[in-house]
Amino acid sequence: MEKRIYSEQTGISYTLHGDYYLPDLTLLDDEKGAEIGVYGQSHLRYIKQHRKALYLNLLTTGKLNGYLAEIDKQAEEMLLRLVKQMADREGVTEQLKADNQMEWVAQMNSFRQRATEIVNKELIHR
């Protein structure tokens, strides 16, 4: 048996491993370096469980890591923007931070938690 074969029909080469021919698949160079953060990982779990067709399409086309990195970036930017907007709207300023640090921390934690819920609903779990 030949060690390597090439399928004209699929355009994929195969290498013999034991009794089986396995496809020679590799990640594209631009997919290897994409960093995926917390929100990207969360979205990955979501699409694996609830949107399998999208997941398989992204995986087989080699676009999954880039897609997840972009989702993660968008989620981080949205979170920061929402927290800032909430703080501005409710008057939480650097002056409050200087005067009453514990109150400032409590307010900012509340804003971050609310913003995280919005990001999850609008971006991650869609």
**pLDDT tens digits, 16-56:** 898 888 888 776 655 556 789 999 999 999 999 999 999 99
User: Is residue 5 over pLDDT 70?
Assistant: yes
Distance, CA of 31 to CA of 35 (rounded, Å): 9
| Contacts of range 39-45, beta carbons closer than 8 Å, 24 or more positions apart | 39/71, 39/72, 39/75, 39/76, 39/119, 39/123, 39/124, 40/68, 40/69, 40/71, 40/72, 40/75, 41/68, 42/120, 42/124, 43/68, 43/71, 43/72, 43/75, 43/123, 43/124, 43/125, 44/68
pLDDT at 63: 92
pTM for the whole thing? 0.74
Instruction: Please report, for residues 3, 9, 14, 22, 123, the alpha-carbon distance to residue 6 in angstroms, rounded to integers and kept in the order given.
Output: 11, 9, 6, 11, 41
pLDDT at position 122 over 60: yes
Kindly give the pairing relationship between strand 12-17 and strand 4-7. antiparallel
Q: How confident is the model at residue 66 (pLDDT cuts 50, 70, 90)?
A: very high
Question: How far lies 108's CA from each of 76, 103, 122, in Å?
Answer: 16, 9, 21
